[in-house]
Structure 1
């Protein structure tokens, strides 16, 4: 999956470049997240979850602002207010952060979503909606990994590092859900211009 790391770097560079002439607050926030790589949007979600003390999955403006700052996103108070009001659809002073994260994801065509889910289903051998080290055996060949070949890592370590790519960067539990997998590839997708190229890349990577 070396290609994935390359796409990640390309996407981060592209996002940083686009940031300089971006004026739309949502797009700006999206680019700031993407400039941290594929897991950037997921990381912001994690920052919000930590903040959500009462487990309501809703944030008021103060929590929202704190979440952005804790995650190190540079955004002025007025801009944050504009953003918040775009998400506070019913005007009750809180936003649903799952909805917020979905809006923040770069848009993707159905063809791309389909191929991502095909790859996920191939990995999820047990069909329980979660990919674990056990699922990877026989689907992903760890023996080609240079660190396995030179004896530095065991097969399980290679699997674990592989899963960590898709797992939330601050909450690595060795399990990957369909949502985490999609979030990851939404990031990668942002750096790939055409559906055809994205689908070919996925098919080659996962031998679909």
Structure 2
């Protein structure tokens, strides 16, 4: 069963990667809307529905095999974060290090989470089009930015959430060197 689940996961990963940077991220977004808000977990029914809504073409038994392999505790639920970690290709040490550097740059207080307060003076909200037009306040610009990374929408981005975000983005970038340079340029590291 585990071997079949691994093969099914490889098939799902390949389909996501064919879609580019939005592949894994898009599937994650769809599944997140179906996950239990408190536990960030999915039952089999929600998992199957999410795959279907995301346009993934897997046989039902393949999806069930993936679910079984990822349900390590045999609880009948799938931990959303653990599923994403299994879906993404492994990240190199160089990628993890540059993601960590970017996170540290944002985490001004050094407490291991990025909040709106950490963004003040780091993220230029005044350049955002909705701030310029008067549609959004500075606070709304900051929240929108954090929401890109914040899986549980609690207003705080952990190092793990940040790593997961860039793991999803980087999954479609084959070259470690390009990925590292891209992050260094984006975060002025």
TM-score computed with the length of structure 2 as normaliser: 0.74
Q: Name 1:112's counterpart in structure 2.
A: 95
Q: Name 1:68's counterpart in structure 2.
A: 47
Residue 130 (structure 1) aligned to one of 93, 113, 125: 113
Question: Structure 1 stretches of 5 or more lacking a match?
Answer: 1-22
1:107-140 per-position Cα deviation (integer Å, ceiling 9, x unaligned): 2111001100111111111112111110000111
Q: Name 2:130's counterpart in structure 1.
A: 147
d(CA) in 2 for partners of 1:146, 1:47: 31
Kept in 1, the 8 Å contact 2:149–2:157? The answer is yes
Kept in 2, the 8 Å contact 1:121–1:127? The answer is yes
Q: Name 1:165's counterpart in structure 2.
A: 148
Q: Name 1:44's counterpart in structure 2.
A: 31
Q: Name 2:3's counterpart in structure 1.
A: none
Kept in 1, the 8 Å contact 2:115–2:155? The answer is yes
Query: Is 1:178 equivalent to 2:169 in the alignment?
Result: no
Q: 1:173 to 1:85 in 2, by over 3 A?
A: closer
Q: 1:131 to 1:80 in 2, by over 3 A?
A: same
d(CA) in 2 for partners of 1:180, 1:143: 25
Kept in 2, the 8 Å contact 1:129–1:177? The answer is yes
Aligned residues: 175
Q: 1:101 to 1:151 in 2, by over 3 A?
A: closer
Kept in 2, the 8 Å contact 1:30–1:105? The answer is yes
